Each structure stands twice: as structure tokens, then as C-alpha cells.
Structure 1
Amino acid sequence: MTTRTYLASAAAAALLVAGAPASAQELDKTSISYVGSWSSLSLYKNFEKPFWQDHVPEASDGKISTDVTTFDQMGLGGGEVYRLMARNVIEVGSTVADYAVSDAPELEGLDMPMMAPDVETARKVAEAYRPVLADAFVKRYNGAKLLAIVPYPSQVVFCNTEIDGLQDLEGKKVRASGRTTAEFLQAIGAEGITLNYSEVPGALQRGVVDCAVTGSLSGYSSGWHEVSTHLYPLPMGGWDQVLTAMNGKKWDSLSGETQQWLQNEIKTSYEDPVWEAAVEETREGIACLTGEGECKRGKAGDMVLVEATDEDFEQVSRHLEETLLPNWADRVEQKWVDRWNETIGEVTGLTATK
């Protein structure tokens, strides 16, 4: 090997080492208190809890211990998580972005009906918008650090009344999964209803609402198929992304090596697996709800599957451009609209204007 080749190889190796994740020996000895999303759903049971309760302590060789619970186990509804994090009551918290839009309307730009009709587009949207979300957490939540963005399965429609398509939602009372979903329902002549997730099965059973929007597998896990008759798989509610963040005080207390290690572990052992599972969980959820296909999670339901048409997709997309995006743009400062257009707009070809 020539001297020049050797020096070039040594320099490349040094760069690789400099950019490599920290080893467990370099980590701070610390503890992390984690508050996760809904305890009954697949996201928490199959991904959040195993990652924070088991993986982090094991992968850190015991340097990082964790205490894990969920916001519903704490008696919270989900919308308070980031506010409590900003006040240093919660160290690391996860909740649905739509639950926090009254505090931070910029978060709402991440997920709107039909903006990302498939999981591949949803992830491109999430990655493009990540720097905007990170800045919003710093501004709105006292310097908090955004750590992860993951989806629930595609947000579909459960009805405890007969429907044959999108047009049949007109005049119906529908529990919306977020503000923009409620605005879309209003645009098609339905009534968007705000209800805590845990209240929905009873509301469907008693006729307080006719229909409700949530992820296919989430609905199955929570027994919505037992109080609903028809399933409409149009992704009307987007993907209900769950955002994980650490309060600024806790983040700043960690060394650079620990910060880098934690971010790498979150991406490879939490975010990537959740995104990879989203397509299959959407498919399996529909199979478990309707009995059409294999359901490995328990006894399948017998809901009627109502197919969405091309015309239905086109109608949702039209309302997104004509109503939902302009309404959102009016709720935020112009700088957030500009950044949306530079990020999500570039991925989707959409433009938000006031």
C-alpha cells in the first residue's frame, strides 16, 4: 500500500469513527421516565413498551434505567402530555399530534385527510416536516427535543349504521380523529364530533355517534367491531402520527454521546420497525374486523367492508386543497405556511395559501 493510499484510508476510517454512535461505555448513567400513548393499542404494546422498558436498559448495558407508563394509565386524555413535559412533570412523552394542535397548530400540518394516501408517502411527509416539528417543539414546549415520529395504521371509518360510500356520511354524526378530519366531515355535510378515544365504543353503541374514525387495528384492539356494522377503509383521518419528545431540561442534562446514542437507537429500534409494520397492521386490522383475510390476533369480526371508489378519493383530495389547507394556513403564522410549502408541499405537490 502506498503512503498516499494508507493516509487516505486512515482519514476515511477516522471519519467513520467520529460519526459512529457512542458505545454503551461512553453513556451517562441516568434514568428516564417515559409516558407512552394508549396502553391498549398495538403501538404501545408491541413497540413503545418493549423499546423503552426493555431495549434501552439492555442496549445501554444498564447505564440507562427507565420507568414506563402511559397517559391513560395516569388518568390523562392525551392532550396534556406535552404541556406537562414543558413544565418538567414528564421527562419523555408520546401522544397523537392531533391531540396537541390547540397548543401548537403547526403540528396539524403533518397529517391531513388524503394528504398521504399510502405509508410510503406518509413517511416522506414526516421526514420532510421533521425539522419544522422540531422547531415547533422548541418554541411551544420550553425547548423540548423531538425524538420520534411514528404512525398508527391508516385511519378509517367505523359505522354502526348502514352506509354504501362517502355520500352516505352526509347528515351522520361522526367522531373525528382530529380537527382537519372534523372540517372535512363538515364539508361533506356530516357533523364532526369530538370524543375521547376511550368514550367511542359506548357512544357508537348508544347512538350518540353514527360513525367514528380511527386506525383499523386500533379499532379492532379496542373492540369497535363489536359495536359497529360497516367499515369504510378510505384513509379519511390520515395516519394519526404519534410524536415522542423529551423535555428540554432532561435533554440538556445528557452528554452529547448519550444524546447521539439515544437518537440512533430510537430510529433503528423504534421508528423504523413501526413504519415497516404500518402497511401490514392496516391490512391485518381490516381482516380482523371483517373476517376477509387472515387474522392472527384473535377472533375476527364480521363487519361489512364498504369499498372506496376513485370518485371518493377525488372528493376528499378536492376538499383538502379547497378547504382544509386554507383553513389550516389561516390558523398559523405565515412562516409556518412557507415552511410547509418548502417541505410537505415539495413531497405532495400541494400548496398551502392563506
Structure 2
Amino acid sequence: MPRLSRVSILSLAAAAGLALTAPAEAQSLRWLTQSQESAAQYPAEIAAIEAAGEAGFDVTRNEFQVLGVNLADALRLVGSGAFDLATVQIGSAAKDDPFLEGIDLIGVSTDMNDLKGAVDAYREAFNARLGEKFGAKAMAIWPFGPQVFLCSADMSSLADLDGLKVRSFTASMSMLLEELGATPVTLSFPEVYPALQRGVASCGVTSPTSSNTGKWPEVTTHLYPLSVSGSVQAHVVNLDWLNGLDEEKRAAFETVMSDLETALWELAITTNGTAQACSTGGECPEGIYTSYEMTLVPVSDADKAKVAEISATKILPEWGARCEASYEGCVDLWNETVGTARGLTISLDTQ
């Protein structure tokens, strides 16, 4: 017997007067992302979008860069319902609420394992605040990777940042740079390459992976792999959209997002070493990374201690005061979550 197509079967059934159950209508999902095709995160995100499609979502994907939308506006775009889901750079979005930056303050979690513990500890409180203030929820929280220094000027230690203009993208990072004698220049990632090229900034802070795929080694000469944070991102969804899903669709969406978070953490933990080697004349396998000959500067214990000291005595109390002013109880909540996970306590009396 010849095999009938679905269309043939439907036609035959209709001709026979049989009642047909229409296929379930796909749920639309307007997805705004910062991951372009050259980004290391792109394959994981595309896989998630394909999985969402298989789960019955009709995904419309847009990129910030193509639309000309500012990354710092991501959270408001989701909260307003302009997009159902967007990738959010938490440090940039924290200009709307200091509490958000508490998930990844400079000097608190300087390796990915420590950061994972901090993120998991803060997740519930973080989402409660997103829901209360922005009508949103973080479905996947993940890092770009260790945030390190790339400079076009000679550099042997943090002391060499004194007097230089250095790209920053969070308030606590700007405070660190100021304490080191540098002038922070707030720039989104797409703005950094031309700023380094034109001398608007002499250094930038980002992950080895992002810097390599973003071609920063073309306009910088020295890489100092002292990690100061993880650049936490989140795939944030509009709560009204999420709560409007039926139970089956919501479970499927949560699975897609959980799998995406796992993939992006693995990427941050495993690939930055390869990217760093590629940027600094080491072995560089074929793939998304490009070989460069930057100078790799050894990290000193003195500089690690300096970052930790600035974080404990300057950054944490300054952030705590800002956060407490807009959200009473913020410091106690941070101490109970991230602080407990990292063995740190903010005391506003130390200011």
C-alpha cells in the first residue's frame, strides 16, 4: 500500500466527513538577543531556539545590534512586553536597580565555580526582585566567563592602569578602576573595539572568549588574566507571557531554558582557556577563535590581594549603601545569600 502524506490523510478524512482535531496553535515567542553568529554562545542559543520550536513555540529572533537597540534597555523592553524574552547584561541593567548587581560584584566571585555558588544562592531573591519591580523572571542565569584586562599600553601589573582610560560596564567595576587610579569609560561591548582603535580607551575588561571573537587583540597588545568577576547575563522573560502558558507549554519552556543555562555555564568554564591561548600565541584549534600574538602578563598574588581588599573595604559597602537606599533590607538579604556562599559580610559601618 502506498504511504500517504499527512495532507492526503486530512483530505481523505474530510471527504469522509470525519471530525478532525486541529493541531495545537504554536505559541509565539519574541526573542531579543545579543549573540551574533561570531559569538561563542551563538550555537547554544540557536540549539535552544530549535528546541523551543520543537516544543511548539514560534520563535521570532532579533539581535540588539541589528535593531540598533541599547543593551542597557533590555530589562525594560521585556518588562514592557515589547519582547517576550531578552538576554540581559546584569551589570548594565543594574542602573535601573542596584540590587541586581549584587549577583556579581567585582572581586566577590573571581572564578567560575565560586560564581556558580553565588548565583545559585542569589537566584530566588534575584527573581523575586525582578518580578516585583519589572514584571520579569530570569529563566537562565549564566556568565560570559572570567573578566580580565586587555590593554594597548604596556602592562605588567594593575599599577600600570594608573592614569589610563579603561572600559567599564558596571558601577562596581568603575569603582575598582578609580581605586587603581584609572578613569572608567562606560561602553557597551560593540562600542569597545572602535574605542580601543581610536584611543578613546587604552584598556578594556571582558572575557578571553568575548575578546577573541570580538577581535580585541587586533587593537590591544597585552592580556592580563586577573579575573575580577564573571559578567553575569540572564535570559529574562516577561512574567505575563510566562504565566499565560498552559502547564505543558510552561514545563517545556522551562526545560529549554534550563538546558540552555547548563550549556552556557559549560562554555564559560571550559572554553576561555582555549580563547586565551589563541589570543596569546598558544595552541589554537580550528574553530571560532583566531590566533594572535598578544603578550600574556603573569598575574601576581599581590594584585589578587589588592582586588580582594578593594572589594571588601570599598566596593561592598558602597554598593550596600546604594542598594539599601532603594531597597530596604538589601544588605541583610545579600549577606544571607551571596555573602554566606562566599564567606563575606557587608557592614555599612565600615564606610
Normalising by structure 1, what TM-score?
Answer: 0.87
Q: Which residue of 1 aligns with 2:178?
A: 186
Q: Which amino acid is 2:115 matched to? A: A
| Shift in Å, 1:94 | 0.9
Give per-residue Cα distances to partners, 1:234-266, cap 9 Å, x unaligned. Answer: 112x11111111112211211233222321231
- The change in CA–CA distance for 1:258 and 1:353 in structure 2 (over 3 A counts) is farther
Q: Which residue of 2 aligns with 1:322?
A: 313
Q: Which residue of 1 aligns with 2:222?
A: 230
Q: Which amino acid is 1:294 matched to? A: C
Q: Which residue of 1 aligns with 2:332?
A: 338
- The change in CA–CA distance for 1:227 and 1:40 in structure 2 (over 3 A counts) is farther
**Residue pair 1:151, 1:242 contacting (<8 A) in 2 also:** yes
Structure 1 residue runs without a partner (length 5+): 1-26
Q: Percent sequence identity over matched residues? A: 29
Q: Which residue of 2 aligns with 1:211?
A: 203
- The change in CA–CA distance for 1:164 and 1:40 in structure 2 (over 3 A counts) is farther
Alignment RMSD (CA, Å): 1.7
Q: Which amino acid is 2:262 matched to? A: D
| Shift in Å, 1:299 | 3.5
Q: Which residue of 1 aligns with 2:93?
A: 100
Q: Which amino acid is 1:34 matched to? A: W
Larger Rg: 2
CA–CA distance in 2 between the matches of 1:327 and 1:288?
37
Q: Which amino acid is 1:261 matched to? A: A
**Residue pair 1:28, 1:255 contacting (<8 A) in 2 also:** no
CA–CA distance in 2 between the matches of 1:129 and 1:222?
30
- The change in CA–CA distance for 1:127 and 1:305 in structure 2 (over 3 A counts) is same
- The change in CA–CA distance for 1:298 and 1:337 in structure 2 (over 3 A counts) is closer
Q: Which amino acid is 2:52 matched to? A: V
- Kindly report which structure 2 residues correspond to 1:21-100, keeping only aligned pairs within 5 A, or say none: 29-39=26-36, 42-52=39-49, 54-58=50-54, 60=55, 63-100=56-93
**Residue pair 2:81, 2:238 contacting (<8 A) in 1 also:** yes
Q: Which amino acid is 1:276 matched to? A: E
| Shift in Å, 1:273 | 1.4
Q: Which residue of 1 aligns with 2:155?
A: 163
Which of 101, 106, 109 is the matching residue for 1:113? 106
Q: Which amino acid is 1:232 matched to? A: Y
**Residue pair 1:225, 1:303 contacting (<8 A) in 2 also:** yes
| Shift in Å, 1:44 | 4.0
Length, aligned pairs only? 322
**Secondary structure class of the residue paired with 1:69:** strand
Q: Which residue of 2 aligns with 1:175?
A: 167
Q: Which amino acid is 1:339 matched to? A: L
Q: Which residue of 1 aligns with 2:20?
A: none
Q: Which residue of 2 aligns with 1:258?
A: 249
Q: Which residue of 2 aligns with 1:290?
A: 280
**Secondary structure class of the residue paired with 1:322:** helix
CA–CA distance in 2 between the matches of 1:312 and 1:38?
32
Q: Which residue of 2 aligns with 1:20?
A: none
CA–CA distance in 2 between the matches of 1:145 and 1:326?
27
Which of 271, 283, 292 is the matching residue for 1:281? 271
Q: Which amino acid is 1:292 matched to? A: G
| Shift in Å, 1:295 | 3.7
**Residue pair 1:95, 1:243 contacting (<8 A) in 2 also:** yes
CA–CA distance in 1 between the matches of 2:294 and 2:177?
22
Structure 2 residue runs without a partner (length 5+): 1-23
Which of 217, 220, 225 is the matching residue for 2:212? 220
CA–CA distance in 1 between the matches of 2:197 and 2:136?
40
| Shift in Å, 1:64 | 1.7
